[in-house]
Amino acid sequence: MAPVTSLSHSVEQHLASALSATLPEAAGADPLLRRSDRADFQANGILALAKKAKANPRELATRVVSEVVTGGVIGEIEVSGPGFLNITVTDRAITENLAARSADTDRLGVPHADAPGTTVIDYAQPNVAKEMHVGHLRSAVIGDAVVQLLEFTGETVVRRHHIGDWGTQFGMLIQYLDEHPHELDHKESQVSGEEAMSNLDRLYKAARKLFDADEEFKTRARRRVVDLQAGDPHTLAMWQKFVDESKIYFFSVFEKLDMEIRDPDIVGESGYNDMLAETCRLLEESGVAVRSEGALCVFFDDVKGPDGNPVPLIVQKSDGGYGYAATDLSAIRDRVFNLKAGSLLYVVDARQSLHFRMVFETARRAGWLGDGVKAFQLAFGTVLGKDGKPFKTREGETVKLVDLLDEAVERATTVVREKAEKVGLSEQEIVENGRYVGIGAVKYADLSTSAVRDYKFDLDQMVSLNGDTSVYLQYAYARIQSILRKSGEARPVAHPELELAPAERALGLHLDQFGETVLEVAASYEPHKLAAYLYQLASHLTTFYDQCPVLKAETAEQRENRLFLVDLTARTLHRGMALLGIRTPEKL
């Protein structure tokens, strides 16, 4: 179906026509329309136009009002203050617009982006043979939401999980496994993610103990690093066992997070090995990078250390080894020239901002990031404990991500169980909904905060039915499903001829903003704005529910129209929450 033009856009078009008729030189000017508490919308653009035309703004506004066609979309328009326009749309326009959105089952009238392209998004980057901790949460959750949003707006999205699967640390592990070849053999055909992590942890501790105690083993382990980097087949086979075991664990964690991570999308540091030497050669030959004390470096005028001396981006170390910069620059080459990406998006901790700023600038100097390609770090802040300090266990250890998720599900299941009898949930539904509520609570707490900000991890608040939480939104959705189940033979039907109550108008106008919100959020990579929209939607629903009886409405037509409003609200909540990666249970 064709996308639905929002009421705000329709009003803008009416104002643009009136402006052109009044002041021809103002053709194409922005009327600066926004929502208002004095009317449905307020337009502030006439003040600037009047100043430019050296006209009295209130007189100009009055002339524009006389040119506006009313009765269709616009019901009333009046001049306010020094030249503001207060605009009220008709009840019929609201209902007809919502009916058009409702008829578009899949997209609810949301248009695609004007010029979709290809975006490579780098997110969810765990490390091989290491347990995922709370620090891995934000990259995964934010990245997954942005993927959903971009794909929904028509962008071609290539997912990349740049896992840490290379480096000197593997020498010790590979050598130990080579000398104890059955340590990662599975007696069963399959192992759980927890068992895989246990295997890796046990092997790491044993290898570390031997490495620290046995100089000969240490020498063999260091030699093994050379073999790995040289591509020795046997060494690579040992290394692959660690990668495969780690993936069993990774996939189990992402499954807990209710996220799809596909194996072909996992292209770690090792995936760019064959490009590193050429990347360095191209940078050196072009003069972008220079040798300094044996290392290949890129210098920047505005990056200096505490001593005032330049701090370079080291692409190749003086011993010939490659740093993270070489891998990241090679990845850019691959994503731009092989994957044909127009946008490169990195969902990475804010503490790495300087590194990525230098990497992007180096790629621009080399000509790999031209005018048609943008690179952007979607930097995120730190997860804090209730005390406002980085989230740790009582013993001061980093919190394991699995433990955090399990506790969230446990707390949420308790909340669901308390209401289970009232809504008629089976034990299976309690367990399933407990998972959806718990994981949704963790995701929403993250996504409802601007990515760049730190946020406090407070499970008690996250699973609360009150306040800005995913549970509040899930409960709003479930409440509507309960109303629809009790509606009997009455069905959701739009009645444009009906006059709307204030709470119905407020709910309808907010529903009509869904398409614009989704496009704005996708374009700016700001999922917290969608979370805010959905919370406001649920709040409008609560007010509507309190003021406008649905099943006990005065007439059959009013009942059908209110069922139509709540049904579209539920579908908008469901779609919006899905774009954030959060489920909406039918009963709660």
Q: Where is average pLDDT lowest: 56-60, 262-266, 376-380, 396-400?
A: 396-400
Q: pLDDT (tens digit, 9 = 90+) per residue, 343-392?
A: 999 999 999 999 999 999 999 999 999 888 999 999 999 999 888 888 88
Nearest of 118, 116, 117, 124 to residue 160 by alpha carbon: 124
Q: pLDDT (tens digit, 9 = 90+) per residue, 256-305?
A: 999 999 999 999 999 999 999 999 999 999 999 999 999 999 999 988 87
CB contact at 8 A, 155 and 116:
yes
The DSSP code sequence of 226-247 is: HHHHHT-HHHHHHHHHHHHHHH
Cα separation, 167 vs 343, whole angstroms: 28
Structure tokens given for 464: 């609360």
Average pLDDT over residues 316-332: 93
Q: Which amino acid is at 301?
A: D
Predicted confidence at residue 566, as pLDDT, reads 98
Predicted confidence at residue 187, as pLDDT, reads 66
Predicted confidence at residue 154, as pLDDT, reads 97
Q: pLDDT (tens digit, 9 = 90+) per residue, 26-42?
A: 788 889 999 998 899 99
Question: Which residues, other chains included, contact 29 with Cβ-Cβ below 8 Å and sequence gap of 6+?
Answer: 16, 19, 45, 49
Average pLDDT over residues 325-339: 97
CB contact at 8 A, 316 and 350:
no
Q: pLDDT (tens digit, 9 = 90+) per residue, 186-245?
A: 766 688 999 999 999 999 999 999 999 999 999 999 999 889 988 999 999 999 999 999
Answer whether residue 1 shows pLDDT above 80. Answer: no
Answer whether residue 395 shows pLDDT above 80. Answer: no
Average pLDDT over the chain reads: 94
Answer whether residue 66 shows pLDDT above 90. Answer: yes
The percentage of the chain sitting over the pLDDT mark of 70, rounded to a whole number, equals 99
Cα separation, 451 vs 379, whole angstroms: 7
Pick the more confident residue, 564 or 169: 564
Predicted confidence at residue 5, as pLDDT, reads 94
Predicted confidence at residue 189, as pLDDT, reads 67
Cα separation, 200 vs 173, whole angstroms: 9
CA atoms within 13 A on the CB side of 416: 29
Nearest of 448, 583, 148, 465 to residue 457 by alpha carbon: 448
Cα separation, 255 vs 262, whole angstroms: 11
Q: How confident is the model at residue 563 (pLDDT cuts 50, 70, 90)?
A: very high
- Collapse the DSSP code of 313 into the 3-class scheme (helix H, G, I; strand E, B; otherwise coil) and give the result: strand
- Collapse the DSSP code of 33 into the 3-class scheme (helix H, G, I; strand E, B; otherwise coil) and give the result: strand
Nearest of 438, 440, 417 to residue 428 by alpha carbon: 417
Q: pLDDT (tens digit, 9 = 90+) per residue, 137-167?
A: 999 999 999 999 999 999 999 999 999 999 8
